[in-house]
Amino acid sequence: MSDLPIGWRDHQEPGRYRLEQTGSQDIFGVVHGPQSLKPFVFAPREPLLQIERTKGGFAAHPALPHPEQIAVIGARACDLAGLAIQDRIFLNDAYRDPYYAARRDELFVIAVNCTRALSTCFCASMETGPRAKTGFDLALTKVDDMLLIEAGSEAGSGLLSELSLSPAHENLIDEAARCIEACARSQVRQLDHARLPQALYDAHDHPRWDEVAGRCLACANCTMVCPTCFCHTVEETPDLSNQQTAHARLWDSCFTQEHGYIHGKNIRPTIKDRYRMWLTHKLASWIDQFGMSGCVGCGRCITWCPVGIDLTEELSALLTSDSRSSVVGSPVEGT
């Protein structure tokens, strides 16, 4: 119990994150930090193959992980939505990623339904929160000094059966629902996705891209904290004898110059190109590619941007009628 952040609360604004100790007994006062569930399943750096020389050539041996079971306490609904997108990409697409699957199988998620929204949250408009609907093993809702517990999987139900718990009173369930709904109504930001993806394709030449490029540092913070970004690169690390090499996968970002190099040419040489690619893929071509938006409304990209660029504000500006020209069709933006 002492390992939990009792009494701590987070305050988030564009480009600003602060923690304060309130002196209360609130266990889940911190809504979320920079880390989502992504690093637990899509490792920031991971060996894929061990390649070694042989007399006839070379041999490659998969370096599949053997992860321990991990229980995550306090995941939020937006994080579960992000995990569902990662599952769609790494497990349920054309090719199942065995490295991701090995970690995913060992993950036990205890979610917490949000009863307090941050100023950067907009999950309600994305229909990903503040209530956890799927993807959890157990979900908790704090009402006054009580915790409601809901099982969302066979493993969660099995754990509940081992605990001495009383059935929740109907009045308590109703109060929990009211608290969650109040949290949704309190969110001051929203993302208008009714006209997506086409409206963002039509804004390809909007002057707003130049304005945001003048502020963006291309630091890649937004992609590192995003629960859904999955861009990566691979590298070879040979040993000193040049007889073996490790083939590893590591996180990358579409904001780096190197990420845009293809056969000696950089197809996204400017920050404007890179920011436009990121936002258009996240909110438009991701829908065409995966059948869902790439944004879950967690607001992390707003908080952890050093200059406070607000994704919801940028989209609102881009969907105005100020575009100098529009494009026909749906340009390919993505990895």
Task: Say yes or no to pLDDT of 1 above 70.
Answer: no
Task: Say yes or no to pLDDT of 323 above 60.
Answer: no
Which pLDDT belongs to residue 287?
95
Nearest partner of 78 among 245, 264, 285, 302, judged by Cα: 302
The whole-angstrom separation of Cα 90 and Cα 232 is: 13
pTM for the full predicted model: 0.90
Mean pLDDT value of segment 92-108: 94
The whole-angstrom separation of Cα 227 and Cα 42 is: 10
pLDDT by residue (tens digit) across 235-248?
A: 999 988 888 999 99
Q: SS in 3 state form for the chain?
A: CCCCCCCEEEEEECCEEEEEECCCCCCCCCCCCCCCCHHHHCCCEEEEEEEEEECCEEEEEECCCCCCCEEEEEECHHHHHHHHHHHHHHCCCCCCCHHHHHHHCCEEEEEECCCCCCCCCCHHHHCCCCCCCCCCCEEEEEECCEEEEEECCHHHHHHHCCCCCCCCCHHHHHHHHHHHHHHHHCCCCCCCCCCCCHHHHHCCCCCHHHHHHCCCCCCCHHHHHCCCCCCEEEEEEECCCCCEEEEEEEECCCCCCHHHEECCEECCCCHHHHHHHHHHHHHHHHHHHHCCCCCCCCCHHHHCCCCCCCHHHHHHHHCCCCCCCCCCCCCCCCC
Mean pLDDT value of segment 229-237: 94
Mean pLDDT value of segment 145-157: 94
Which pLDDT belongs to residue 328?
38
Task: Say yes or no to pLDDT of 186 above 90.
Answer: yes
The whole-angstrom separation of Cα 329 and Cα 143 is: 49
And the tokens for 13?
Answer: 């604004």
The whole-angstrom separation of Cα 101 and Cα 48 is: 13
Which residues touch 22 (CB under 8 Å, ≥6 apart)? 7, 8, 9, 29
Which pLDDT belongs to residue 263?
87
Confidence of residue 145 (pLDDT cuts 50, 70, 90): confident
Which residues touch 288 (CB under 8 Å, ≥6 apart)? 197, 330
Mean pLDDT value of segment 217-233: 96
- 198 phi and psi, to 5 degrees? -60, -35
Task: Say yes or no to pLDDT of 326 above 60.
Answer: no
